[in-house]
A and B are shown apart, each in its own frame.
Chain A
Amino acid sequence: NAGVMQNPRHLVRRRGQEARLRCSPMKGHSHVYWYRQLPEEGLKFMVYLQKENIIDESGMPKERFSAEFPKEGPSILRIQQVVRGDSAAYFCASSPGTSGTGNEQYFGPGTRLTVT
């Protein structure tokens, strides 16, 4: 059973470019979460999605960041006009549900974004 997959693992962008990060949840999981980890910091929640729906985006910056989880294909976290402060590790997690043991979240290997 493949785990959560993320790609690319490493992404380098120049200031002002766009970054697209992809996440495929574990088989059987319909809940996807994105987290960001700045250097020497803890993980911070960004957004929670189910297929075709954003459930909670309370952790997303108001500008330049967007996320989707289409009916077909992976979840995408998109960062427009990247700035140096966007450099971080972006982790995706998935879970089969949100209650009981179903809310245990399993993380992908992350995408390390470097903005030059």
Chain B
Amino acid sequence: RKEVEQDPGPFNVPEGATVAFNCTYSNSASQSFFWYRQDCRKEPKLLMSVYSSGNEDGRFTAQLNRASQYISLLIRDSKLSDSATYLCVVNYGDYGGSQGNLIFGKGTKLSVKP
């Protein structure tokens, strides 16, 4: 079983739509959670950290369910500029001595059309 699993998409949505991405992770010791976005042939850019209480940043809302080992990202009122690949990322923290490294999902591709 992959450590971080995401639906690869693509999700093709019209401008203004609401779209949700889901992600599951296999290691219950995971301590930190993030969403990154990656544009074609560019570096990943941190979109938001995901906290147990859930958090919102403008049109973006992230939720974490530790019991189900599930993370979600909701994008409201989607814009053309939201077209990218969204990466679900976990970090084990100090578990097993791994400390800092991030475990990436393969990403979900979003295409917002006019």
Would you give the shortest CB distance from B32 to chain A, in whole angstroms? 6
Mostly helix, strand, loop or mixed at chain A's interface?
A: strand
Are A107 and B43 within 8 A (Cβ)? yes
Q: CB-CB contacts of B78-89 with A at 8 A, as 1s and 0s?
A: 000000000100
Interface size on B, residues (CB 8 A): 24
CB proximity to A under 8 Å, residues B27-53: 32, 34, 41-46, 49
- Complex alpha-carbon distance, A51 and B49, angstroms: 26
Q: CB-CB contacts of A60-94 with B at 8 A, as 1s and 0s?
A: 00000000000000000000000000000101010
17 pairs from A and B in contact (CB 8 Å cutoff) = A33-B101, A56-B97, A56-B98, A56-B100, A58-B101, A91-B44, A93-B102, A98-B93, A98-B100, A101-B49, A103-B91, A104-B46, A105-B100, A106-B46, A107-B44, A109-B43, A112-B41
Chain A interface residues toward B at CB < 8 A = 31, 33, 35, 41-45, 48, 55-56, 58-59, 89, 91, 93, 95, 98-99, 101, 103-110, 112
